[in-house]
């Protein structure tokens, strides 16, 4: 590592020490009330308590798994529907003209509220959360896929058509790979939405999941519990982000190497 990199790393560690150390210090000295604002040591204790003794709703792993299941299924369904709809509407002008006002209208709604509706319709189980997560993911991916398809270089399309490609071959060889750059960029944001969908769905009404654990902590004025739940979710999101970056690298291997500065952020 170069000197500069060490310097950055050192500054990063310092920043964490100052923020969390300060938090711990001020709450220990009772300048800030740990009852309302939580405390780093309390958060760690809470997590270890959950790991060793479970939550009020069973093992913590079950809660994590429930939320992940909802987020992952919602993510996959939303991505699949978003890509299919985006490519279809991007390719077939008639469809895009028919659907676009409706899609804009639904997009303008506060979709998170639909979660309440899904809980009423589909019950307290994981289905309602999967549907909410998929719904949120769909729009992100759809708009990107649609735009990606629209931005396809007409020259490339003409070239493969002259080489003898059928319409389906054009879509497979040109349209989808070209739109993939846009679609993959949307996946990072989309997984965040999947988690939001799962958690909000659980908060609105469920028997298991991290959302339930967080709501329970909130109802008991346990700020450490809320923070602990948040940190666990954050860890899951980071893991997912890492997996998506791997996928991105694999699928977009053909691209010229870009400056790594941007990905460092």
Partner 1 sequence: MRSNTQRDPQLRQSGRIELTGVTKRFQTPGGDTFTALRDVTMTVEPGEFCAVVGPSGCGKSTTLTMVAGLDRASEGTVSIGGQPVTGIGRGTSFMFQTDALLPWKSVLGNVAMGPLFRGVPKKSALTDAKDWLRMVGLAGFEDRYPHQLSGGMRKRVSLAAALINEPSILLMDEPFGALDVQTKAIMSNELLTLWDQSKPSVIFVTHDLEEAIALADKVVVMTAGPGTVKAVFDIDLPRPRGSVQEIRFGQRFTELHHEIWESLRDEVTRAYARTAAAAGESDALDRVAEVHS
Tell me how far apart the alpha carbons of residues 165 and 125 are, in angstroms, rounded to a whole number.
Answer: 47
**Listed ranges 100-108, 130-138, 192-200, 250-258: which one lies at the site for partner 1 (CB under 8 A):** 250-258
Q: Under a CB-based contact definition with an 8 Å cutoff, are residues 79 and 135 in contact?
A: no
Task: State the nearest-atom distance from the C-beta of 104 to partner 1, in Å.
Answer: 23
Q: Is 249 in the site for partner 1 (CB under 8 A)?
A: no
Q: Is 260 in the site for partner 1 (CB under 8 A)?
A: no
Cβ-based neighbour number of residue 53 at 10 Å: 9
Q: Is 41 in the site for partner 1 (CB under 8 A)?
A: no
Q: Is 203 in the site for partner 1 (CB under 8 A)?
A: no
Q: Is 36 in the site for partner 1 (CB under 8 A)?
A: no
- Nearest by Cα to 229 from 251, 209, 246: 209
| Residues in CB range of 248: below 8 A, 6 or more apart | 184, 187
Structure tokens given for 142: 């759809």
Q: Output the CA torsion 182→150→71→248 (10° steps).
A: -20
Tell me how far apart the alpha carbons of residues 96 and 89 are, in angstroms, rounded to a whole number.
Answer: 5
How many residues at the interface with partner 1, by CB under 8 A?
20
Q: Applying CB under 8 A, which of residues 29, 254, 261, 264 lies at the interface with partner 1?
A: 254
Q: Is 207 in the site for partner 1 (CB under 8 A)?
A: no
Q: Is 54 left (phi over 0), alpha (psi -120 to 50) or beta?
A: left
Rank residues 175 and 210 by Cβ distance to partner 1 and give the closer one.
175
Q: Is 93 in the site for partner 1 (CB under 8 A)?
A: no
Rank residues 88 and 156 by Cβ distance to partner 1 and give the closer one.
156
Which residues in 134-173 contact partner 1 (CB under 8 A)? 155-156, 158-166, 169, 173
Q: Where do contacts with partner 1 occur on this chain (CB under 8 A)?
A: 155-156, 158-166, 169, 173-174, 177-178, 180, 254-256
């Amino acid at each position: 590592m170069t000197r500069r990199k060490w310097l950055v790393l050192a500054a990063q560690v310092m920043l964490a020490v100052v923020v969390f150390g300060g938090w711990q210090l001020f709450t220990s000295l009772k300048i800030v009330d740990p009852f309302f604002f939580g405390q780093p040591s309390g958060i760690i204790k809470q997590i270890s308590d959950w790991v060793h003794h479970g939550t009020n709703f069973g093992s913590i792993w079950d809660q994590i798994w429930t939320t992940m299941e909802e987020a992952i299924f919602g993510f996959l369904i939303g991505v699949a529907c978003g890509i299919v709809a985006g490519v279809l509407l991007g390719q077939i002008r008639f469809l895009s003209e028919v659907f676009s006002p409706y899609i804009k209208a639904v997009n303008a709604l506060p979709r998170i509220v639909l979660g309440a509706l899904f809980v009423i319709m589909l019950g307290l189980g994981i289905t309602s959360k999967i549907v909410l997560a998929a719904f949120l993911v769909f729009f992100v991916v759809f708009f990107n896929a649609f735009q990606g398809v629209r931005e396809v270089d007409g020259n490339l399309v003409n070239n493969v058509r002259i080489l003898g490609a059928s319409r389906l071959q054009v879509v497979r060889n040109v349209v989808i790979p070209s739109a993939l750059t846009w679609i993959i960029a949307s996946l990072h944001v989309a997984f965040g939405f999947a988690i939001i969908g799962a958690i909000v769905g659980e908060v609105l009404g469920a028997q298991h999941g991290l959302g339930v654990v967080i709501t329970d902590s909130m109802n008991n004025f346990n700020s450490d519990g809320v923070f602990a739940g948040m940190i666990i979710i954050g860890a899951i999101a980071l893991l997912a982000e890492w997996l998506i970056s791997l996928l991105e690298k694999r699928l977009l291997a053909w691209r010229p190497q870009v400056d790594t500065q941007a990905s460092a952020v």
